[in-house]
Structure 1
Amino acid sequence: MHPSLMPPRQVKIGDAAAFVGSTPRAIRHYHGIGLLPEPERGGDGRRRYGYEDMIRLLWIRRMADAGIALDDIRDAFTTGTASTGADSEDGFTGILERLEETLAEQEATLRRQRTAVQRMRTEGSRMGLLSDFVTERLRGLPEGSLRRADLDGLLVTERILGPLGAALQATRFIALATHPALREDSDRIDDAEEALDDSVAADDPRVAQVAAERHAFECALQAVIEESGLGEDDDALFDAWDTLHPAAADGGEDAAGLSSGSREAGSMSAREAIGKMPYDFSPARLRCMELAEELSARDSAAT
């Protein structure tokens, strides 16, 4: 072989890194974690890498590119009698099985993320993040008829009560979106409630007045829901949910009056949520809510 083509018996770390497609820093890290034994050093104190070192570096690079963790590569190497021997294959069997499971989980995650992105592009960035069960309930509404506060409320409800609870709440926003006068009344009362800030005493006469207006509005809203047939749609929601989740159809009733199967994993009861979800309500506004509930309870008892 011509002297100019004669390969060196050993190379420095920079040449070794360039050959295997790595970096000197990565190779030093391999030494630090025990993945690659420290090679002998030359008279200048620098590391020198021979043929066996380069073979091991090439295998490390290929396995790392395949997604195998460096710690697993090191463990696999230490179980075999040689870095490329037949015995070392046994050390990789379990590692590859775990890697395949991890990749399958990552693929499932990517599919869910891709589906979520597609739904966001189709339904809108906020509505697309709600569950299919909820967005299907809202389908057909005029564009822009749902407000950000409506979607925020549905997001919170879905977290607490699951998709079925949020889909039932969506009925309220459908009625408001399709009845402008009702939406106007809703805005007026919302503003009146927000005005009950910390500067208003809980026993201020305005608190009882706003509570009465809220109660009257809720009665009017419920009447519109029943007259427009939205109430019947709500009944159909339970059937649709049971069809999608037959295993949960025989569940008992929870505190919210919804089937226990209506909640997804990780959701919580209303009682649990009270201590975890902050609401910036003044004492006056809380008292207003209590009074409105009392008025509603009286009506229910009377009927």
Structure 2
Amino acid sequence: MHASFVPPRQVKIGDAAAFVGTTPRAIRHYHAVGLLPEPERGGDGRRRYGYDDLVRLLWIRRMADAGIALEDIRDATADESHDRAGGTDVAHVLERLEQSLAAQQAELRHRRTAVRRMRAEGSRLGLLSDFVARRLQDLPDGSLRQADLDSLLVTERVFGPLGAAVQAGRFIALATHPDLRERSDRVDAAEEALDDAVAVDDPRVAQVAAERHAFEEALHARIEDSGLARDDDALFDAWEALHPAPAPGPGAMSAAAALGKLPHDLSPARLRCMELAAELDAQEPRKSKEPQEP
């Protein structure tokens, strides 16, 4: 046959959908999401699609059938220049789509690795970032308490992985020095006893503040002696190497904003105890050696 196919100059949406192998509803959705420009309407007020519109619909359908999301197709074509015929440079679009899919694939690998690690850890340790978890990886199983891991999870949300990794040194010291852990438990219990029934000027408030201050001095000295403080310096170097130009990520929250959203259930007496302990800490510089318990 020598007859050539001469398509009509413009067709209605139903004919365009039938030719492409889709539905009028799908084409209207392409318009709504900005994937396909709205065509001119005829004298009857109905959309009319030309040859270039049908070609664009065809390659949209081909890419969609290949599993490419419509949003990705739209984003890849949003800023593309058009050639003389008014069509989009499909090769350039596909290049951008490949880059987008590669980035998504990398993100999926990252998520899968995170989920796999959470399953392997079998505890809250798996919920922490790799940067924090690596500092805790040499500790024996069960040496960290659930409350320790919960505190690290909150710290990472407020101050980021670096802040939580630094705080991890505290829990490493407690996990590897039973005497410090027992002393910490005693101070914690004394603070918890400062409930709403205790007045802020009760002598126990100042006594517990002094105990907290003395314990923090002892803990700091043990951290210094064990070399954990030097590990903190290495953490800063490692963090800077991984993040040479840090920038807030999507949904990032400032420390002040995050702390303001944390629920606090502390009695006035306990808050006063914390203030007194902070004042003692500011008055007395930390010692290089652990102070003797009275």
After TM superposition, the score normalised by the length of structure 1 is: 0.64
Q: Does the CA contact (< 8 Å) of 2:165 and 2:235 recur in 1?
A: no
Task: Give the aligned partner of residue 283 of structure 1.
Answer: 268
State the identity %.
63
- Which amino acid counterpart does residue 235 of structure 1 have in structure 2? R
Task: Give the aligned partner of residue 197 of structure 1.
Answer: 195
Structure 1 residue 116: deviation in Å? 1.9
Deviates more, 1:20-29 or 1:143-152: 20-29
CA distance in 2, matches of 1:153, 1:181: 21
Task: Give the aligned partner of residue 5 of structure 2.
Answer: none
Two-structure CA RMSD over aligned residues (Å): 4.7
Structure 1 residue 288: deviation in Å? 0.3
Deviates more, 1:60-69 or 1:145-154: 60-69
- Which amino acid counterpart does residue 88 of structure 1 have in structure 2? G
Task: Give the aligned partner of residue 69 of structure 1.
Answer: 73
Which segments of 5 or more consecutive residues in structure 1 lack a partner in the other structure?
1-11, 41-46, 249-260
CA distance in 1, matches of 2:17, 2:270: 68
1:296 equivalent to 2:291? Answer no
Structure 1 residue 130: deviation in Å? 2.6
The 3-state SS of whatever aligns with 1:69 is helix
CA distance in 2, matches of 1:56, 1:268: 42
Counting matched residue pairs gives 272
CA distance in 1, matches of 2:14, 2:101: 33
Structure 1 residue 106: deviation in Å? 1.9
Alpha carbons of 1:102 and 1:246: their partners in 2 closer, same or farther (altered >3 Å)?
closer
Q: Does the CA contact (< 8 Å) of 1:138 and 1:174 recur in 2?
A: yes
CA distance in 2, matches of 1:74, 1:155: 40
Task: Give the aligned partner of residue 245 of structure 1.
Answer: 240
Alpha carbons of 1:234 and 1:74: their partners in 2 closer, same or farther (altered >3 Å)?
closer
The 3-state SS of whatever aligns with 1:245 is helix
Q: Does the CA contact (< 8 Å) of 1:17 and 1:27 recur in 2?
A: yes
1:233 equivalent to 2:233? Answer no
Q: Does the CA contact (< 8 Å) of 2:52 and 2:87 recur in 1?
A: no
Structure 1 residue 135: deviation in Å? 1.9
Q: Does the CA contact (< 8 Å) of 1:30 and 1:36 recur in 2?
A: no
The 3-state SS of whatever aligns with 1:200 is coil
CA distance in 1, matches of 2:31, 2:163: 56
Alpha carbons of 1:21 and 1:183: their partners in 2 closer, same or farther (altered >3 Å)?
farther
Q: Does the CA contact (< 8 Å) of 2:206 and 2:276 recur in 1?
A: yes
After TM superposition, the score normalised by the length of structure 2 is: 0.66
1:207 equivalent to 2:205? Answer yes
Deviates more, 1:195-204 or 1:269-278: 269-278
Task: Give the aligned partner of residue 25 of structure 1.
Answer: 25
Q: Does the CA contact (< 8 Å) of 2:119 and 2:126 recur in 1?
A: yes
Match of 2:108 among 87, 107, 110: 110
